[in-house]
Structure 1
Amino acid sequence: MAPLSKDPATLATQGKKAMDESKYDEALTLYTAAIDIRPNSPLFYLQRSICHQRLQKGQEAVDDAEIALYLAEKLGKRDLKAQAQLRRGIGYFFLHRLGDALQCLKWSKKLDEKEKSLNLWFPKVEVGLSKLEEGDERANATVPELPDVSDKIAAEKPSTPAPVSNASPAASTAVKQATGVTTPVDKIREEMIQNNTHVTWTLYVKGVPKDKASVIMEPRSFHISFPLANGSEYSIDKDPLFAEIDVDNSRSSVLSTKIELHMKKKVEGKKWLAMEAKEEDVKAEQASAPVNKPAAAPSYPTSSRTGPKNWDTIVTDVNDDEEEGDPVNSLFKTIFKNADDDTKRAMMKSYVESQGTALSTNWEEVGKKKMEVTPPEGMEAKPYEM
């Protein structure tokens, strides 16, 4: 691996790329380096928690999720707290602590009812719980909503020690005052301007240390954080953005008096009414998005163009089919293999008819209707032949 960058945002971007390419060990190294530089970023811990999960390191995944929860709580970031509880729940699932997993998923849902991943993880946990014998301690919920992570944070020490300064205390104080954030928090302000092709968003704040600022842009969101003079962290997120941006052709700058994001519009000529989209804006966009719908077909049981589906036959076929892939796919296979026939039919029918956007284990409900396609927010459903 090439020498690591000293910019935490660059490290995080490289870590995400490595994770997308299933290079989990490399991603783990990159996120750890980013955490060494920015130990107060809950986002970095959340991403590293995912790396640990993919590497089947359940306890490490839980530890990082709980540190992320602690940091998000300090920052008052409800969305990051929801993600941290979700990652806790997934981690406890892989540790076979199903009662704790279910409780963490409930806390995540309380914080963000729209989190679509919960629709997949709740059934997995509930199926697992149904397989436990009465009195099995793994079904008990024992974890607190906000765990004590002081020992875990103490164990997180930067791999590179801070250089020792020979300067006098007065000189050191002068350097901090010269290079640290000088704008009071209540005076930090933002501004947005746009033209047909770009949106420029500016955060007016003086003295942000460039080497400690984190700017992460995604197609429909961005995250910015940097340390304040008092040692706490300032963080701001825009999610979802009013419309999608072209990340590859967008750029950010950390200057002495401001942080500026120059974002390329994915759809040129579209006027942004604000930086963030409201819920009604997202719904209107999804409703107006062109979707190529397949020709009308009868409802279940003859919803397919090829005729009625025999779900008993499909269940048999899947049981005989050996799959390879990541641990999550193996998990689905295990749940499916150990389920009763009605549960298997429900899982197959809901997954196929919803084009992979829903999974249900309730055949009594699923067998009476055709499942609707509900793609994640910001994505578009594509038709396929059943």
Structure 2
Amino acid sequence: MEFVNANKGIALCKEGNYADAIPHLTKAIAVTMSPIWLLARAEAYTKASQFERAIVDAEHAYNIAAARQHSQRLEQMLEAQYRRGVALFRLGRYADADACLLWAVRLGSGASAREEDLVLAKVDGDGFYNCTLEQAENEKPVSPEKGNVNQADLTKSRKWVRAHSMRQVCLSNLARLASDATERKLTVTRTPSPPALVDGEYSLDGSKDGSEKAAGGRQGPAALDTTATAVKPQQLRFDFFQSSANVTLSIFCKGVDKKTFRAEADSRTIVLHNMPNEGDPPVMLSLAHEIEPHTIKQFVGSVKVELTLVKAQPGEKWKTWGSMTDSSDLASVSQPKESVLSEPDVEDEPPKPKPIPDWVLQNKPPPYPTSSKSGPKDWEKLGDDDEEPQDVNHFFEKLYKGATPEAKRAMMKSYTESNGTELSMDWSDVANRQVEVHPPEGVDVKNWDGTKRK
């Protein structure tokens, strides 16, 4: 029966009906504590703003997965740390959140679950967590080798990008806090010790009333019970076109406020803040390729937002712009960091003139469009490395120099006896015969004294 409830709960989660999914998953977990079911309910609890319960489920899922020898063991441990990080972030515990996300990133990078804990090196003597956005950007993603790509590698790579992007936002919020803020205190450990579940559920303060309290007495966002209706993220439509140097991404959405709209970006991620409808979470976009984040331009219109992205690799052809990640994980982001995008354009103002491309200033031809991963090629220089054409004598000198002794004798005999009209390298063919003269058509053969040969 627990499998029926679990499958029903997971199906409801996929449909976005998290409130109805929680009771089904709870009945299943009361019988069997499966990491998959716990992680599904942790996500549902997060959507329903029951963050303490989401953390407990994720911690139980991590410990159970770590104790098993299973093909999906590391993937489940990664997902559990990510779910911990998201729930802690929503509670405003940014240091704890980034630590969990860093553990998820390390697992996604292929590191061992038993490697030295890198988080401990980022904590000072007073217990404050010190990590910067610049340090996080040095983490490298999983890059499966071509020809040896499997679904597990692709899934791990996608989850690495998701956790890494979440760290960008988390560390941006952490950087705005005072150096002695309580949110900077690290209170979590890589291997958690969660409280026990009673009848498959974590009881808050000895009850099941669904109230949420953060550590240190801080109140999290408004708590919802299991019958509440989860807020669904706004549905957006995307389109893009590209040139050899730029990609123009259109986000179709009505009613975007030009004055309050904000966007922040790094080389592979864009986060859009203050989209329409109060309470909607920011929109996170994971790009398919790298861009130059400090040169992005934006245009806010009545029905769409248009972003002009400069390719980090000019001439590279994008098959797709990327995808939108789970934006509700970023809800409650406050005071976004200063955007690296330019100031929004006013819809009625004429567009600003485009900057002069570098190839014009440097008096060079424009780059050729190409789909090559190595970048554009200058076809004007295609023949620059070719050898200069040589005369026919140079060819024969090279041929004679590389020949065998017998071939050299055959060449000398045939060339001399035929008055330069035949050249043979086969000594067995010319050794016992007189090589005849074979002049070209229209040419007469003459003796050395100038008389015509009979």
Structure 2 length-normalised TM: 0.39
Larger Rg, first or second structure (1 or 2): 2
Structure 1 length-normalised TM: 0.45
In terms of fraction of residues, the more helix-rich structure is 1
